[in-house]
Amino acid sequence: MSETLSFSQVLGWWVGGFLTLCVFSFLYKDNVFYKLAEHIFVGVSAGYWMCIGFWQVLYPNLWGKLQAGDWRYAMAAILGLMLVARLVPRISWVGRWPLAFMVGIFAGFNIVYTMQAQVLKQVEATLVPLWGNPDLATTVLNWIMVLGVLTGLMYFYFSVEHKGPIFGTAARIGIGVLMIAFGAAFGYTVMARVSLLIGRVMYLQEVWGRTLEYFRG
């Protein structure tokens, strides 16, 4: 395999390994190497996504439509140019109009999707049978889920003081349910970050191994 390696490949691996170590150097303290890697990452990401946005979104959906004779997209082009006017302080107010259109349209679409995905679907998921299930485990899990949802909602019901055997107990159980949910979400986040760390360490090991392989070959 060593004969297939080239100097440019090895150089690319070492650049990636160097930038990885620069990011890890932040564990010690904020330093110039970390800032170098941070600026390179932000700059490359901005340039990459700008190119992707132009060639995969703007060019086919605007310029391609105009070339095909669909002049309805001329209004979109005008609104896009009005957004650029925000770079000029004297006429920056012009950019408020397309921004208002964007906020209104996205808000209208997202209200429907959010209501369906985060409200209706979750309500539907809690409508489970509490008895008559084929096994005891399913019944117990369904009761836990329904009671957890109800007590969690009762914790956020502030019209009644959280005292007494009903609201007080339900609110305390709801706090426990919320803490379990937050802990599970935090644990999942930590696992994802540890997975990224393992990937970077394995990358550094691969860089070192392939570099030795290149020079031995």
pLDDT tens sequence across 56-81: 988 898 888 888 888 888 888 898 88
State the sign of the Cα–Cα–Cα–Cα dihedral 75, 81, 83, 89.
Answer: negative
Determine the Cα–Cα distance for residues 143 and 149; give it in Å rounded to an integer.
10
Tell me, what's the pLDDT at 2?
Answer: 45
Per-residue model confidence as pLDDT tens digits over 181-199: 999 999 999 999 999 999 9
Q: Is residue 79 part of a domain?
A: no
Taking residues 169-182, report their average pLDDT: 92
Q: Is residue 100 part of a domain?
A: no
Determine the Cα–Cα distance for residues 180 and 187; give it in Å rounded to an integer.
10
Q: Is residue 150 part of a domain?
A: yes
3-class secondary-structure state, position 159:
coil
User: Are 209 and 14 contacting, i.e. CB atoms less than 8 angstroms apart?
Assistant: no
- pLDDT above 70: residue 3: no
Q: Is residue 157 part of a domain?
A: yes
Percentage of the chain beyond pLDDT 90 is 37
Tell me, what's the pLDDT at 217?
Answer: 64
Determine the Cα–Cα distance for residues 37 and 2; give it in Å rounded to an integer.
30
Domain interval for residue 133: 128-217
- pLDDT above 80: residue 11: yes
Burial 173-212 (b: 16+ CB within 10 A, else e): bbeebeeeeeeeeeeeeeeeeeeeeeebeeebeebeebbe
Q: How far is Cα of residue 69 from the mean position of the Cα atoms in its chain?
A: 37
Short-list 52, 56, 74, CA closest to 65: 74
The number of distinct structural domains making up the chain is 1
Q: Is residue 2 part of a domain?
A: no
Residue 1: band (very low, low, confident or very high) from pLDDT cuts 50, 70, 90: very low
Per-residue model confidence as pLDDT tens digits over 113-157: 888 888 888 888 888 898 888 889 999 999 999 999 999 988 988
Taking residues 29-44, report their average pLDDT: 94
Determine the Cα–Cα distance for residues 83 and 96; give it in Å rounded to an integer.
8
Tell me, what's the pLDDT at 104?
Answer: 92
Q: Is residue 201 part of a domain?
A: yes
Q: Is residue 132 part of a domain?
A: yes
Tell me, what's the pLDDT at 215?
Answer: 75
User: Are 171 and 154 contacting, i.e. CB atoms less than 8 angstroms apart?
Assistant: yes
Q: Is residue 172 part of a domain?
A: yes
Tell me, what's the pLDDT at 76?
Answer: 85
Per-residue model confidence as pLDDT tens digits over 85-113: 888 888 889 989 999 988 998 898 888 88
